[in-house]
Amino acid sequence: MSLKQYRYVKLAEELTGHIDNHRWVAGERLPSIRSLSSVHGVSINTVIQTLHELENQGLIESRPKSGFFVTLRAKPKSPSHPMIDKLEATPANVPEIFQDIMTRSAAFDIAPEGLQNPPTQSSVILHRRINNAMRSQINNKAFYYDEPKGTSELRCQISDLYRSVGVDLAADDYCITSGCQNSLFLALMTICQPGDNVVVESPGFYGVLQLCQQLGLNVIEVPSSVTTGLNIDFLESALRNWKIKACIVTPAFATPTGASMPSENREHIIRLANQYDTAIIEDDIYGDLGFSSRPEPLKVLDREDRVVLCSSFSKSLSRDLRLGWIAGGRWHDRIVKRKLVTSLAGNQALQTGLANFIGKGDLKRHLQQKRQGLKRQRDQLVHALHKHFPANIRFSIPNGGLSLWIELEKRLDSVELYQQLLKKKVVITPGALFSLTSNFDNFLRLSFSHPLTDARETAIKVLAARISG
């Protein structure tokens, strides 16, 4: 073996050892090439060769303009789904604990009282764009209401964003709302009447259950896989046995499981909607948060204008914006009228600033960094769970979104855990929020939307100690 080969092999063994011994954990960035060259006394070419070899072995991955990162090698132990004998249509009734969690503003942070994340460069740029728009608004439009559909500048930008993923709609086909929850509300309020039946995913977004309760709708919970989403066979059974006005579905990286619907299921759900004359309300809020690709929205397959596309910037950009959109298909004009009646108009300066942010390429750059950061944070959280949780605990490892879905032992009740952990300033999201049934009482959701700081890892240790006792 030549000296050059020896140095390459020795460096590869050392770096692999650091990974195997968890000196560098999943999601962590390796030192720079120049730093590795200096520390190990080898040439830059030797370091590059070594890193490429480790990448071929799946130990690390290269991220453009960011460096090399340790990859996640854990095999998922997917949570189970409780057996369901039959589907039922039941009035929606959301647990009171929902309000308690939301008042703490901690649905996505296990340790909300820890150090706050510093502002990102993109958030600084976004606020600069908004501030510039607000200053110009004083002279231009401050004494005029926004048009009912929202500013044309922002709708044009949203139209362009969706055209890039296959949704061919004009700016007039979109309406700006006060967030995705508001979009879903407008869609349900327009399509349904009190007493109507709607299909929801189980487990599924608790905000949808809250809306159904507010509107007096009956809910049919259809099982949802932690990997492929809504069970199409159960959906077809529900459509055969009930008159269903709408099916609310999150096909891309759904909360709480992170499931993403495969293409054949997407096509099937559209065929069923056409066959049974049912509206599909698509919650696309996590669509831009795929680590490797951006799934096509269901709206791409819609040929009968029965898919109502809803989303917002709250998960991909900022929860503080409260700006969303809706493309209402055959119900669009009625939805716009509902928006006019319920909220009259939106903030024009906010919309103009955001449109400038998108138009100048800032959103694209932000999403590239956001996806890389979320993948890194997912890997860090998974590593922490493997490190601290009992070996029999099962959880999902999604390829996008914001959350892991965790199945605990049957003896554990996550609502009781929630109450106990509050005393330790640890906040979890109990499984009971994601269903009207008791099927998920021993489940919980943990988010990787924040970096795994010392405070958050300590919170995970506290949770682990509780479920191990």
Window from 117-121, 219-223, 278-282, 346-350 with minimum mean pLDDT: 117-121
Q: Which range, of 122-131, 308-317, 428-437, averages the lowest pLDDT?
A: 122-131
As to burial, measured by CB atoms within 10 angstroms (0-12 exposed, 13-18 middle, 19+ buried), residue 294 is middle
Residues 6+ apart with CB under 8 A from 427: 101, 104, 106, 109, 110, 111, 112, 418, 421
**What whole-number distance in Å separates Cα of residue 283 and Cα of residue 184?**
8
CA distance 62 to 52: 9
Cβ atoms of 238 and 222 closer than 8 Å? yes
pLDDT in tens, 224-272: 999 999 999 999 999 999 999 999 999 999 999 999 999 999 999 999 9
Strands 443-447 and 403-407: antiparallel
* Confidence band for 289, pLDDT divided at 50, 70 and 90: very high
Q: What are phi and psi of 151, to 5 degrees?
A: -65, 140
> Which pLDDT score is estimated for 135?
78
CA 32, distance to chain mean position in Å, is 31
Q: What angle do CA 251, 255, 261 make, to 5 degrees?
A: 20
Nearest by Cα to 310 from 464, 443, 177, 212: 177
Show the tokens assigned to 197: 């039946």
Location of structure tokens 């939805």? 335
Residue 200: closest CA among 82, 290, 90:
90
User: Chain-wide mean pLDDT for the chain?
Assistant: 89
| Confidence bin at 64 (pLDDT 50/70/90) | confident
**Higher-scoring residue by pLDDT: 140, 394:** 394
Q: What pLDDT score was predicted for residue 72? A: 73
* pLDDT band at residue 116 under the 50/70/90 scheme: low
Q: Which residues, 6+ apart, have CB-to-CB distance to 35 below 8 Å?
A: none
* Strand 175-177 relative to strand 67-70, pairing: unpaired
- Give the confidence band of 145 by pLDDT, cuts at 50, 70, 90: low
Q: How far apart are alpha carbons 462 and 306 in whole angstroms? A: 47
- Amino acid identity of 98? F
How many of the other CB atoms lie within 10 Å of CB of 153? 19
Indicate if the pLDDT at residue 14 is higher than 90.
Answer: no
Place of tokens 């929202």: 150
Which sign does the torsion angle of CA 211, 214, 215, 217 carry?
positive
| Least confidently predicted of 63-67, 183-187, 338-342, 458-462 | 63-67
What confidence score (pLDDT) does residue 168 get?
Answer: 95
Give the model's confidence band at 50: pLDDT under 50 very low, under 70 low, under 90 confident, else very high. Answer: confident
Q: Is the pLDDT of residue 305 over 80?
A: yes
The pLDDT of residue 5: 56
Give the pLDDT of residue 77.
76
Q: Which pLDDT band holds residue 38 (cuts at 50, 70, 90)?
A: confident
Span 119-129, mean pLDDT? 85
Give the pLDDT confidence score for residue 333 in this predicted structure: 96
C-alpha 271/C-alpha 145 separation (Å) is 41
pLDDT at 226: 92
Name the 3-class secondary structure at 109: coil
- pLDDT for 104 equals 61
Summarize the confidence of residues 393-412 as an average pLDDT.
Answer: 94
The two tokens of residue 374 are 């979320």
Structure tokens at 118: 């510093």
User: Given this model, what pLDDT does residue 75 score?
Assistant: 63
Higher confidence at residue 113 or residue 435? 435
Alpha helices in 389-468 (DSSP H): 414-422, 454-468
Grade residue 133 by pLDDT with cuts at 50, 70 and 90: confident
Name the least confident of 56-70, 138-152, 249-263, 267-281. 138-152
Query: What's the Rg (C-alpha) of the chain?
Result: 24
- pLDDT value of position 49: 85
Give residue 1's pLDDT.
Answer: 46
SS3 category, 322: coil
For residue 222, what are its two tokens?
Answer: 């259809």
CB atoms near residue 455 (< 10 Å): 17
Comparing CA positions, the residue from 395, 408, 365 lying closest to residue 256 is: 395
pLDDT at 4: 54
Report which listed range, 47-56, 69-78, 208-217, is most confident: 208-217
Average pLDDT over residues 190-208: 96
Write the single-letter amino acid at 145: Y
Mean pLDDT, residues 355-383 taken together: 93
Mean pLDDT calculated for residue range 7-14: 80
Identify the burial level of 314 via C-beta atoms within 10 angstroms of its C-beta, where 0-12 means exposed, 13-18 middle and 19 or more buried.
Answer: middle
User: Which pLDDT does position 353 carry in this prediction?
Assistant: 92
Predicted confidence (pLDDT) at residue 429 exceeds the cutoff of 90: yes
Q: What is the pLDDT of residues 69-109, one digit of tens each?
A: 888 766 667 888 877 778 999 998 887 777 777 666 556 88
- Is residue 283's pLDDT more than 50? yes
Question: Residue 155: what residue type?
Answer: R
| Side chain identity at residue 312, one-letter code | S
Give the dihedral sign, CA 165/171/176/182.
negative
Asked if pLDDT for residue 180 goes beyond 70, the answer is yes
Over residues 395-416, mean pLDDT: 94
| Token pair recorded at residue 373 | 């950061």
Question: What is the mean predicted confidence (pLDDT) over 329-344?
Answer: 92
Tell me: pLDDT of 142 over 60.
no
Q: What is the pTM of this model?
A: 0.86
Residue 81, exposed/middle/buried by CB under 10 A (0-12, 13-18, 19+)? middle
Is pLDDT larger for residue 140 or for residue 131? 131
* Residue 131 banded pLDDT, cuts 50, 70, 90: confident
Across the range 123-134, mean pLDDT stands at 85
In whole angstroms, give the CA distance from residue 389 to residue 377: 17
Structure token digits, residue 40: 């190990």
Q: Is residue 148 over pLDDT 80?
A: yes
Indicate the Cα dihedral angle 314, 317, 322, 324, nearest 10°. -70
